[in-house]
Amino acid sequence: MHWHGEPHAVILLKLDFDAGITILTGASDIGQGSSTIVAQIVAEVLGVDYGRLRVIANDSAITPKDNGSYSSRVTFMVGNAAAQAAENLKALLVTAAARRLGIDDTELEWLGEAACPRSEPDRHVAFADIVEEALKGTGTITAKGVFTCPPEFQGGKQRGGAVGSTMGFSYAAQVVEVSVDEELGTVTVEKVWAALDCGFAINPMSVEGQVQGAVWMGMGQALSEETSYEANGLHQVANLLDYRVPTMAESPEIEVHIVESLDPNGPFGAKEASEGPLAGFLPALAAAIEDAVGRRPTTLPVTPERMYDLLHRKTRRPRAEPVRGDA
């Protein structure tokens, strides 16, 4: 869908006379914190206070096109577009600041909330005055940043190869500790250790939350969530009362370890942080169950009924307490 050159992400920055910067993005923040990441990137590139920034997301009537929140692409692609937009706006402001100081652009030291000549650090001009100079005779300024995944990172021209997924993926490792009640067939997750290589963690707290959310999603797939139908084709779990999604009541302790590296193509070296910890939970849980009871489940989710059947097909061990295992 993108071989015609349509950009994968677009960011607009609007600068007005109040010296505030409005960030316009079509990226949907569905809880992963993308609006915060975009603001952090713009603030870092420009060096301005966060109080100057306002993020407007999602309203397609006023925001530029974005592909959507899928395939681990938002931080990587929208982040790169935000960085480019900030660099473009910074270039305009540098020129305005140099003009106000009566010097050449190359002689200017940009300080974010101010600027000064390199040779005269005490003769500085404030950000509000720089904005006033930049807006003379033109009014509101809009700077744009775009990002498009290069064709060589899109997997070739096979069907679906240009869906616009990210070009930097995280790596994760997990350890899961469980206890199994052999009489009831219930499996309880006691603790999860998750390590994630997310490139550079722009917002470590957000990364930690992403990992925890991925673990919960993995728990749902592994222990309770299932699409099943009656013989007549009616859905057995057609609402969230019957479709068992893990809640905080089922949450184990989740110990998150962020392993930073620098992706050469990501914004400040960042990659994604959402999907890696999800896939690892399922096999880790199955291995932990095998460590506990000596038999590995091969069908998910591991409901009490399936766990009881799995245990019933082998010689039972006389245990009064739940057995534990980890992997």
Determine, yes or no, domain membership for 99. Answer: yes
Residue 166 included in any domain = no
Residue 79's pLDDT band (boundaries 50, 70, 90)? very high
Whether 163 is covered by a domain: the verdict is no
Residues 164/27, Cβ–Cβ less than 8 Å: no
Q: Residue 164's pLDDT band (boundaries 50, 70, 90)?
A: low
Same domain (yes/no): 47, 102: yes
**Which CATH number characterizes residue 26's domain?**
3.30.365.10
- Tell whether 36 and 129 lie within a shared domain: yes
Contacts of 274 (CB under 8 A, 6+ apart): 32, 72, 210, 213, 214
In a domain, 228, yes or no: yes
Q: What is the pLDDT of residue 2?
A: 53
Instruction: Specify whether the CB–CB gap between 2 and 162 falls below 8 A.
Output: yes
What's the pLDDT tens digit per position in 19-73?
A: 999 999 999 888 888 999 999 999 999 999 999 999 999 788 899 988 888 777 8
Indicate the residue among 153, 187, 208 that finishes a domain.
Answer: 153
Same domain, 135 and 63: yes
Same domain for 213 and 319: yes
What mean pLDDT do residues 154-171 have? Answer: 67
Query: Which residues on neighbouring strands pair with residue 199, listed in sequence order?
Result: 270
Give a yes or no: residue 4 inside a domain.
no
Residue that is last in its domain, among 126, 153, 180: 153
Least confident of 90-99, 146-155, 233-242, 256-265: 146-155
Model-level pTM? 0.86
Report how far residue 269's alpha carbon sits from residue 77's, in angstroms, rounded to the nearest whole number.
Answer: 12
User: Out of 12-16, 34-38, 196-200, 274-278, which region has the weakest mean confidence (pLDDT)?
Assistant: 274-278
* pLDDT tens per residue across span 82-95: 999 999 999 999 99
Residues 42 and 137 placed together within one structural domain of the fold: yes
pLDDT band at 159 (very low <50, low <70, confident <90, very high): low
Which is more confidently placed, 12 or 1? 12
Give a yes or no: residue 1 inside a domain.
no
2 lies in some domain: no
pLDDT tens, residue by residue, 92-106? 999 999 999 999 999
Q: Does residue 216 sit in the same domain as residue 137?
A: no
Last residue of a domain, one of 89, 124, 153: 153
Instruction: Tell me the helices (H) and strands (E) count for the chain, helix number first.
Output: 6, 11
Tell me the pLDDT of the chain averaged across its residues.
90
Percent of the chain with pLDDT over 90: 69
CB of 292 closer than 8 Å to CB of 180:
yes
307 touches 187 (CB < 8 A): yes
78 and 222 part of one domain = no
Residue 158 pLDDT class (50, 70, 90 cuts):
low
- How, if at all, do strands 253-259 and 186-197 pair? parallel
Greatest extent of the chain over all pairs of C-alpha atoms, in Å: 88
The count of structural domains within the chain is 2
What confidence score (pLDDT) does residue 223 get? 96
Are residues 208 and 260 part of one domain?
A: yes
Residues 6+ apart with CB under 8 A from 271: 72, 75, 76, 166, 168, 169, 170, 197, 198, 199, 263
- Edge-first strand order for the sheet with 9-15 is 53-57, 21-25, 9-15, 141-147
Q: How many CB atoms lie within 10 A of CB 216?
A: 21
Residues 135 and 197 in one domain: no
- The range of the structural domain enclosing residue 239 comes to 171-326
Q: What is the pLDDT of residue 65?
A: 86
133 shares its domain with 180: no
Torsion 45-46-47-50 (CA) sign? negative
In a domain, 215, yes or no: yes
Q: Do residues 244 and 225 make contact, with C-beta atoms less than 8 angstroms apart?
A: yes
Quick one: 132 and 192 in the same domain? no
Domain check: are 124 and 183 in the same one? no
